[in-house]
């Protein structure tokens, strides 16, 4: 039951904060289920991937997922997830936990900055992004620089998935904001599709190697999906930057707690 409730909490955070909120799934399993980071990472990724798939399907129905871009980035990410898994085993649990805490702190601080300056954008106005949209169709115009940008985004997401058990939304969303001229809703929906596909590849690798604890993974992932669906109703009523501020401070506190727990 505790695994299902932890999953519900993560799904709620995902619904309220967007694609990057799933980074708290691994700490939730570390503190709530008593797992170490190596054990928690593939379980967290299964939950985040299933929740992202729900959001991606909603985006597909709305016609805002750029599925060709998502498939390209996800294919590159799937190739890179084994490298991330290898790096995680090479680092060991203690070093991996510290790396995870540093990444979590970075995400928290960035979100707090965005909440303090909600009208800023990561895209540079003076330079055209490598991936431009066709004015008539709204689809991306495929060029060599666009391909390179999407492949690099997918590679980064794949390494994050394999190494840390996170979907990589905190990498994909800002990268696509810099690399494309898509609207933010299309970027988020497309990033959810990438996360779901990359997560599927990473989870398959973990399952094949026998490192995925299904009795914990299934209720946790089911709870995450339930929490995300419920959280969408709350998110529709909770406007403004309050979600980002709450998530930022919570993530920063969790990052500190992870380091303290591991080192002391």
DSSP bridge pairs for 133 = 140
Q: How many CB atoms lie within 10 A of CB 90?
A: 10
User: Which residues have a Cβ under 8 Å from the Cβ of 237 and sit 6 or more positions away?
Assistant: none
pLDDT of 194: 93
Counted residue by residue, the chain has a size of 264
Rounded to an integer, what is the distance from CA 178 to the centroid of its chain? Answer: 17
Which stretches of the chain drop beneath a pLDDT of 50? Answer: 121-125
Q: Are the CB atoms for 169 and 19 separated by under 8 Å?
A: yes
Residue 134's pLDDT is what? 81
Give the pLDDT confidence score for residue 54 in this predicted structure.
Answer: 86
220-232 per-position pLDDT tens digit: 999 999 988 887 7
pLDDT at 223: 93
Residue with tokens 């709305």: 62
- What pLDDT shows up at residue 184? 83
The residue assigned the tokens 């933010």 is: 184
The pLDDT tens digits of the residues spanning 61-86 come to: 988 899 999 999 999 999 998 899 88
Residue 263 neighbours by CB distance under 10 Å: 10
Single pTM value for the model: 0.84
Q: Which residues of 163-195 are buried (b: 16+ CB within 10 A; e: fewer)?
A: bbbbbbbbbbbbbbbbbbbbeeebbbbbbbbbb
Cα separation, 180 vs 188, whole angstroms: 12
The pLDDT of residue 122 is 47
Both tokens of 239, joined, read 């406007």
Three-state DSSP at 98 gives: helix
CA separation for the pair 227, 194 (Å, rounded): 20
């Amino acid at each position: 039951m505790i695994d299902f409730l932890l999953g519900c909490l993560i799904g709620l955070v995902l619904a309220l904060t967007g694609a990057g909120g799933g980074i708290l799934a691994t700490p939730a399993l570390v503190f709530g289920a008593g797992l170490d980071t190596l054990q928690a990472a593939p379980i967290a990724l299964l939950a985040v991937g299933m929740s992202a798939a729900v959001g991606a399907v909603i985006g597909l129905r709305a016609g805002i997922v750029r599925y060709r871009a998502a498939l390209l980035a996800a294919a590159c990410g799937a190739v890179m997830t084994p490298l991330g898994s290898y790096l995680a085993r090479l680092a060991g649990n203690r070093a991996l936990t510290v790396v995870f805490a540093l990444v979590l702190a970075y995400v928290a601080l960035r979100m707090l900055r965005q909440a303090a300056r909600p009208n800023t954008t990561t895209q540079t106005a003076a330079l055209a992004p490598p991936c431009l949209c066709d004015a008539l169709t709204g689809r991306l115009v495929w060029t060599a620089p666009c391909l390179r940008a999407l492949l690099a985004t997918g590679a980064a997401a794949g390494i994050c998935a394999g190494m840390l058990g996170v979907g990589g939304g905190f990498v994909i969303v800002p990268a696509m904001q810099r690399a494309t001229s898509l609207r933010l809703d299309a970027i988020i929906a497309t990033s959810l599709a990438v996360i779901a596909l990359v997560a599927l590849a990473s989870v398959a690798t973990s399952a094949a190697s026998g490192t995925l604890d299904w009795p914990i993974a299934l209720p946790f992932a089911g709870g995450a999906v339930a929490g995300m669906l419920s959280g969408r109703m709350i998110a529709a009523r909770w406007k403004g930057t309050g979600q980002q501020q709450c998530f930022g401070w919570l993530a920063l506190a969790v990052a500190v707690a992870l380091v303290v727990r591991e080192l002391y």
